[in-house]
């Protein structure tokens, strides 16, 4: 395989190479990459900004993560934050630092993923910085979105008796990670080729997640305004606790209402893992978790991609899960804590 | 000295600690840190976004950089980019990744510098991400600014016969770096305590630079619209070449017009360095380099912080420096290339 050294291009050559095919999709993008900053026009709308730092060895493992998928996911995790504000992403900036182990082909694959996500979600890459690093790959993405004035949704608007809803299915990304880590370990010990057991669903949920653009569009079309919202990045348990703490409420979740993919459930049993625990503590699902007024129940029920999984209570009633067997357990925040 | 382990706080505890005293200064900051994104209001103005990645061992050396200064400078380099667009910064986001070698006290000192810069320049810290890293300190700052519609200034508007101007004085940061690197080497070899020879000016230019807010305000007050602008981060030579290449022009610079601090000039001679070379190739001065129409000459001349250093020519005349002795040399881009 061809290998071009980044050093042969220099920084400006690299930037030119990486942005030569960058398209502008939004009328609001007045000035894109190639200057000190990007210019974004506004028409009486509000801007939402979100940013994330992803570091090799902490947030991702290149031994089983294709660089194109990583580029795609780096964008998705930020867009998901914008959607979780009930806003529509419009621009991103991308900073990357990379050691000399990365070739131009590797960085091009990474940016192919970035651009694929931009195209899929209709956003513009409007700036960024590239740098060498002493070790590994470092990615920092900032996403900017628009929302009609005062239509944005925070974590703190939930009130007692409101419904707790979630999009899609939970726990898949955690199972994908478990499978890939298992195969990595087996490969290290025995040299055996990875056997992903045709688990395309869970591997895909981890390596190439999608953000729930469709749900935010559906809110607008159906004039539904969630009262609180967050994306499921730390796990259902941790994330509903964020909503409850910031809203000053408690909650009740029903185990049998938590949506789970059938293939993923089978695979969890095979690994002797509890699917509910995967959903509660797994994280990285990038589904939308939100609360709505009871008047919206009928509309929510019509949407096959949404599940009502519980309701908000006064704070003094605490935060609980009602199990299939009818037992009541206090929720605990078990999200990934990468600082430990 | 007290040392608190970051792991004892957890990520959310750390964020709370670091943002508890975060103030909101701009009416446009509708929602600040503590949610998935920040909300920024607009009133028919345009938004400018800029972002930078700073990596330990590549962009800074903690053996002689106080963390508070580093926090301050991390903000300044981004604000400088916003000013270089003729815009006024209003918000920043800050991502940091740090290894377990950093204590809470160390991170607090870093954020003290961030907040000091926010206060000095009237900007709001509205979001960010904190993470562990496998090695060293990683900083990614995104700055957002406002500008009246179509008043932003890019690198590509320069035209023949327009004047080339620069704010402040050049070359100081490079001399500061040279001095600190020399003392670091001596300390490593002999254990001798650093002797900074009372060079507060050049050391300050490197470790605690300022962004030229005053110049952008002055443009507005005097209704001067630069035709092209960039901040001097790579060195005068490299940065004027950016303007010329993007504008499709050439230029002539006069060596005797390049502004240099008197103390710094003396120190350059002492180190047997050519002050002009320091200004042309040094970089990191964060001064504003811009072009204006000749009609603005009188106004520019009235501002003691601005120097006219040359003029724009047609592209076919090339890019040249006229030396004190009257010789004509082609400019070469010798800016710091950290990818080599």
- For B170-189, what is each residue's pLDDT tens digit? 999 999 999 999 999 998 89
Q: Which positions ≥6 away from A146 have C-beta within 8 Å?
A: A28, A42, A45, A46, A47, A48, A87, A88, A90
Task: Answer whether B134 sits within 8 Å of A58, measured CB to CB.
Answer: yes
Name the 3-class secondary structure at B14.
helix
Please check whether residue B152 lies inside any domain of the structure.
no
Q: pTM for this structure?
A: 0.90
pLDDT at residue B197, rounded to an integer = 74
Is residue B337 pLDDT above 50, yes or no? no
Assess whether B139 and B196 both reside in one domain. Answer: no
Please check whether residue A258 lies inside any domain of the structure.
yes
Task: Answer whether A55 sits within 8 Å of B14, measured CB to CB.
Answer: no
Task: Answer whether A38 sits within 8 Å of B49, measured CB to CB.
Answer: yes
What residues of chain A lie within 8 A of the CB of B84, using their CB? 36-37
Cβ contacts of B330-334, under 8 Å, gap ≥ 24: B331/B237, B331/B240, B331/B241, B331/B251, B331/B253, B331/B280, B332/B237, B333/B234, B333/B237, B333/B238, B333/B241, B334/B235, B334/B237, B334/B238, B334/B280, B334/B281
What residues of chain A lie within 8 A of the CB of B155, using their CB? 34-36
- Judge contact between A127 and B51, C-beta under 8 A: yes
| A47, A93, A338 member nearest B47 (Cβ) | A47
Among A127, A121, A62, which residue's Cα sits nearest to residue A94?
A127
- Judge contact between A144 and A47, C-beta under 8 A: yes
Q: B15-35 b/e with 16+ CB inside 10 Å = b? A: bebbbeebeeebebbbbbbbb
DSSP A258: S
Q: How far apart are CA A157 and CA A168, in angstroms?
A: 22
pLDDT at residue A296, rounded to an integer = 97
pLDDT at residue B103, rounded to an integer = 83
Assess whether B131 and B53 both reside in one domain. Answer: yes
**Rg from Cα positions in chain A:** 21
Among A130, A102, A99, which residue's Cα sits nearest to residue A3?
A102
Q: How far apart are CA A229 and CA B175, in angstroms?
A: 51
| A34, A129, A154 member nearest B35 (Cβ) | A154
Beta bridge partners of B320: B252, B330
Q: What is the DSSP string of A272-330?
A: T--HHHHHHH------EEEEE-GGGHHHHHH-TTEEEEEEEEEGGG-EEEE-TTS-EEE
Domain boundary among B147, B173, B188: B147
Is residue A146 pLDDT above 90, yes or no? no
Domain boundary among B98, B116, B147: B147
Start-to-end C-alpha separation, chain A:
39
What residues of chain A lie within 8 A of the CB of B143, using their CB? 37
Predicted confidence (pLDDT) per residue in B12-43, tens digit: 677 677 677 777 766 667 666 666 666 776 66
- Judge contact between B144 and A37, C-beta under 8 A: no
Predicted confidence (pLDDT) per residue in B293-318, tens digit: 999 999 999 999 999 999 999 999 99
What residues of chain A lie within 8 A of the CB of B60, using their CB? none
pLDDT at residue B119, rounded to an integer = 87
Is residue B8 pLDDT above 70, yes or no? yes
Task: Answer whether A95 sits within 8 Å of B52, measured CB to CB.
Answer: yes
- The complex scores an ipTM of 0.88
Please check whether residue A1 lies inside any domain of the structure.
no
Q: What is the mean pLDDT of chain B?
A: 88
Banded model confidence at residue A334, pLDDT cuts 50, 70, 90: low
Residue A200 tokens read as 């395309």
Contact map slice: B 269-328 vs A, CB within 8 A: none
Residue A145 tokens read as 């979105």
In chain B, which residue's Cα lies nearest the Cα of A147?
B39
Please check whether residue A335 lies inside any domain of the structure.
no
**Number of residues in chain B:** 340
Alpha helices in chain A (DSSP H): 6-19, 67-83, 104-121, 172-190, 200-207, 213-221, 236-247, 262-270, 275-281, 297-302
In chain B, which residue's Cα lies nearest the Cα of A132?
B339
Is residue A336 pLDDT above 90, yes or no? no
- Residue A46 at interface with chain B, using a CB cutoff of 8 Å: yes
Assess whether B122 and B68 both reside in one domain. Answer: yes
Is the dihedral angle over the CA atoms A264, A265, A267, A271 positive or is it negative? Answer: positive
Contact map slice: A 237-276 vs B, CB within 8 A: 246
Task: Answer whether B49 sits within 8 Å of A91, measured CB to CB.
Answer: yes
Q: Which positions ≥6 away from B328 have C-beta within 8 Å?
A: B320, B321, B322
Task: Answer whether B50 sits within 8 Å of A37, measured CB to CB.
Answer: yes
Distance from CA of A300 to the nearest CA of B (A): 23
What residues of chain B lie within 8 A of the CB of A338, using their CB? 11, 131-132
Q: B89-98 b/e with 16+ CB inside 10 Å = b? A: bbbbbbbbbb
Assess whether A134 and A227 both reside in one domain. Answer: no
Q: How far apart are CA B75 and CA B211, in angstroms?
A: 9
- Judge contact between A312 and A247, C-beta under 8 A: yes
Please check whether residue B236 lies inside any domain of the structure.
yes
| A128, A134, A142 member nearest B58 (Cβ) | A134
Distance from CA of B326 to the nearest CA of A (A): 32
Rounded average pLDDT over B267-296: 94
Q: Is B44 exposed, middle or buried (0-12, 13-18, 19+ CB in 10 A)?
A: exposed
Assess whether B81 and B170 both reside in one domain. Answer: no
Domain around A117: 6-147
What residues of chain B lie within 8 A of the CB of A230, using their CB? 36
Assess whether B191 and B136 both reside in one domain. Answer: no
Contact map slice: B 148-167 vs A, CB within 8 A: 149, 152, 154-155
- Judge contact between B282 and B235, C-beta under 8 A: yes
Rounded average pLDDT over A282-290: 94
The HSE-up count of residue B169 (CA atoms within 13 Å, CB side) is: 16
Residue with tokens 């996500």: A117
pLDDT at residue B6, rounded to an integer = 67
pLDDT at residue A331, rounded to an integer = 93
Is residue A255 pLDDT above 60, yes or no? yes
Q: Which positions ≥6 away from B200 have C-beta within 8 Å?
A: none
Distance from CA of B223 to the nearest CA of A (A): 21
Q: Is A339 exposed, middle or buried (0-12, 13-18, 19+ CB in 10 A)?
A: buried
Rounded average pLDDT over A156-161: 95
Assess whether A136 and A242 both reside in one domain. Answer: no
Q: How far apart are CA B155 and CA B244, in angstroms?
A: 8
- Residue A10 at interface with chain B, using a CB cutoff of 8 Å: yes
Contact map slice: B 67-106 vs A, CB within 8 A: 81-82, 84-85, 87, 91, 93, 95-97
Assess whether B227 and B254 both reside in one domain. Answer: yes
In chain A, which residue's Cα lies nearest the Cα of B242?
A35
Please check whether residue B157 lies inside any domain of the structure.
no
- Judge contact between B111 and B13, C-beta under 8 A: no
CATH at residue B217: 3.90.650.10
Banded model confidence at residue A199, pLDDT cuts 50, 70, 90: confident
Q: Which positions ≥6 away from B223 have C-beta within 8 Å?
A: none
Is residue A1 pLDDT above 70, yes or no? no
Please check whether residue A189 lies inside any domain of the structure.
no
Rounded average pLDDT over B187-199: 84
In chain B, which residue's Cα lies nearest the Cα of A128?
B51
- Say how many domains are in chain A: 2
- Judge contact between A174 and A267, C-beta under 8 A: no
Task: Answer whether B38 sits within 8 Å of A50, measured CB to CB.
Answer: yes
Q: B104-121 vs B67-83: helix axis angle to the nearest 10?
A: 30
Assess whether B194 and B75 both reside in one domain. Answer: no
Q: How far apart are CA A279 and CA A274, in angstroms?
A: 9
What residues of chain B lie within 8 A of the CB of A142, using their CB? 49, 51, 93, 142
Is residue B239 pLDDT above 60, yes or no? yes
CATH at residue B116: 3.30.1330.10
Task: Answer whether A7 sits within 8 Å of B339, measured CB to CB.
Answer: yes
Task: Answer whether B135 sits within 8 Å of A132, measured CB to CB.
Answer: no
- Residue B192 at interface with chain A, using a CB cutoff of 8 Å: no
Q: B172-190 vs B200-207: helix axis angle to the nearest 10?
A: 100
pLDDT at residue A127, rounded to an integer = 82
Is residue B338 pLDDT above 50, yes or no? no
Rounded average pLDDT over B104-118: 88
Antiparallel, parallel or unpaired: β A138-147 and A88-98: antiparallel
Predicted confidence (pLDDT) per residue in A186-197, tens digit: 988 998 888 777
Banded model confidence at residue A340, pLDDT cuts 50, 70, 90: very low
Assess whether B97 and B176 both reside in one domain. Answer: no
**Number of residues in chain A:** 340
Assess whether B181 and B321 both reside in one domain. Answer: yes
pLDDT at residue A339, rounded to an integer = 38
Is residue B148 pLDDT above 60, yes or no? yes
Name the 3-class secondary structure at B25.
coil
Distance from CA of B210 to the nearest CA of A (A): 17
Is residue A106 pLDDT above 90, yes or no? no
pLDDT at residue B323, rounded to an integer = 95
Assess whether B180 and B118 both reside in one domain. Answer: no
Please check whether residue A265 lies inside any domain of the structure.
yes
């Amino acid at each position: 395989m061809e290998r071009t050294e980044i050093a042969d291009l220099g920084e400006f050559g690299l930037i030119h190479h990486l942005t030569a095919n960058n398209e502008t999709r939004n009328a609001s993008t007045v000035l894109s990459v190639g200057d000190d900053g990007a210019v974004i026009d506004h028409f009486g709308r509000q801007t939402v900004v979100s940013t994330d730092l992803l570091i090799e060895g902490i947030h991702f493992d290149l031994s089983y993560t294709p660089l194109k998928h990583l580029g795609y996911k780096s964008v998705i995790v930020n867009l998901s934050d914008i959607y979780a504000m009930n806003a529509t992403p419009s621009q991103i900036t991308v900073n990357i630092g990379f050691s000399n182990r990365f070739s131009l082909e590797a960085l091009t694959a990474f940016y192919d993923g970035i651009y694929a996500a931009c195209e899929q979600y209709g956003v513009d890459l409007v700036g960024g910085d590239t740098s060498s690093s002493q070790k590994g790959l470092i990615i920092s993405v900032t996403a900017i979105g628009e929302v009609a004035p005062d239509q944005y949704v925070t974590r703190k608007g939930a009130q007692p008796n409101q419904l707790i809803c979630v999009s899609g299915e939970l726990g898949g990304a955690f199972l994908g990670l478990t499978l890939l880590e298992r195969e990595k370990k087996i490969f290290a010990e025995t040299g055996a080729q990875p056997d992903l057991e045709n688990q395309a669903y869970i591997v895909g949920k981890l390596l190439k997640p999608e953000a729930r653009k469709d749900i935010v569009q559906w809110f607008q079309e159906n004039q539904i305004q969630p009262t609180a919202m967050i994306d499921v990045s730390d796990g259902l348990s941790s994330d509903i606790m964020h909503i409850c703490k910031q809203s000053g409420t408690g909650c009740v979740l029903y185990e049998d209402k938590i949506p789970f993919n059938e293939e993923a459930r089978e695979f969890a049993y095979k690994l002797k893992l509890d699917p509910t625990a995967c959903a509660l503590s797994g994280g990285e699902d990038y589904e939308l978790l939100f609360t709505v007024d009871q008047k919206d129940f009928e509309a929510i029920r019509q949407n096959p991609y949404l599940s009502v999984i519980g309701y908000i209570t006064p704070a003094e009633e605490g935060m609980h899960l009602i199990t299939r067997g009818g037992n009541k357990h206090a929720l605990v925040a078990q999200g990934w804590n990468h600082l430990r």
